[in-house]
A = this chain, B = another copy of it.
C-alpha cells in the first residue's frame, strides 16, 4: 500500500478527531469529563437506524445477525456471502439482490444504472455463477424529470448488454417528493453455477494466496470527489465494471478457487475480515503490495480516509490454492479487468479470524473490520 495511506482504520480515526476537538475545548473551559465524551462513530447499541447500518461493516452484519436472521433467516441466508447458492429444478443457481441509492446518480466513469447491473452481476460472479437474468425495481421520487429516468434506464441497458445479461422483469413505484432521492434501483439476479465450482469462505485453508484484481479505492473516491465538489488535480473516474468475464477466465484455469469477493461497501478491509472470520484462518497482508493509485492515495490522505476501507465496484479479491496461484494471476493479468492484479498476502493458521498488515517499515498492524462506513451511499 502507498506510503500516503493512514495507518488507522476509520473508526479509530474518527475517535482521534473527536479527541482533538475536546482538547481544544479544554483550554476554554473546565477539565473534560471523560465519561461524558460522545463519539461520532456509529455506536453499536443504537435504538435507531444510523447510516453505518448500511455501510457493509460490523453494524450491517449485526443488523443481519440480530434482526433479519432471527426473523426470516434459514440455512441459506448468510451475512458473509453476496449470493445464495441454490438447487432448483435440477439446476445449480446463484441468486442475489442489491439496492442502489448512490448519490449523485451520474458520476465520472458511471451511473446508478451501471452500478445496478454490475453490482448484482458481480455478486453472482463471486459465487462463480454467470449472471443470466436480472430483475429491476425502480423507486422514483415524484417530480424527477423523465429525462433523468430515461438516462438511468439507458445506462442500465447499456451495462446489461456489456455484461451479457437480460433484464426480464421489473417494477416501478413512485413515492411523494421528499420521500426518495430521484431514483433508487433494486436489481436481483439469477445465474448458473458451473459444475465443480464451490466458492465459499469455509474452503479457505492456511497457505492460500490472496490476490486482488487491480488498484483499490477508485470507485469510492470518484463518487466522494464529485459529491463533495473536491478536486484532486486529476479527475478520478469510477472503475465500475462487470467482473463475470474475469471470473470466467479465472475458473478456466481451475474450478478450485476457494473464495472470491468484490470489496464494495467496507472496502477490502471488510471483505478480508469477513473471509478470515468465516474461514477461521488468519490473513497476512503485505501492505506495500496492495495497489493504490497515487490519485486515490492523495485524496485519501487529504480526507483522512484509509483506502483499505473505501468501496470498490469493479475489483475482486481471490483466495487461491498456492499451487495454482501463479497461473490464476497470469490469467487475470491477461484480462482487461485484471491487468493490475497483484498478490497482496496469504492465509495463515495463526491469529484465526484476524487480518494483519505488514507495513513497509517491517512492523505489523491489525486491519479491523469497519464498524460503519466512511462514504455514505456509494452504491
Q: Please give the residue numbers on chain A whose beta carbons come within 8 Å of chain B beta carbons, in ascending order.
A: 46-55, 60, 63-64, 67-68, 71-74, 76-77, 83-84, 86, 88-93, 95-101, 132-133, 135-147, 149-150, 153-154, 156-157, 160, 166-176, 178-181, 184, 186, 188, 190, 192, 376-377
Of all A-B residue pairs in the complex, the 7 with the closest CB atoms, nearest first, are A89-B91, A54-B174, A72-B157, A188-B188, A97-B135, A71-B153, A76-B168
Q: Are A186 and B144 in contact (CB under 8 A)?
A: no
Min CB distance, A198 to chain B, in Å? 16
Cβ A175 vs Cβ B48 within 8 A: no
Pairwise interchain contact A49-B88, C-beta atoms closer than 8 A: no
Q: Are A88 and B93 in contact (CB under 8 A)?
A: yes
Q: Are B179 and A181 in contact (CB under 8 A)?
A: yes
Residues of B within 8 A of A143 (CB): 48-49
Q: Are B51 and A135 in contact (CB under 8 A)?
A: no
Whether B167 lies near A73 (C-beta < 8 A) is yes
Q: A88-B93, A178-B178 are in contact. Are A171 and B67 (CB under 8 A)?
A: no
Taking CB as reference atom, which chain B residue is nearest A184? B139
CB-nearest residue of chain B to A60? B172
Give chain B residues whose Cβ lies under 8 Å from the Cβ of A96. Answer: 135, 169
Contact with A76, one of B63, B68, B169 (Cβ below 8 angstroms): B169
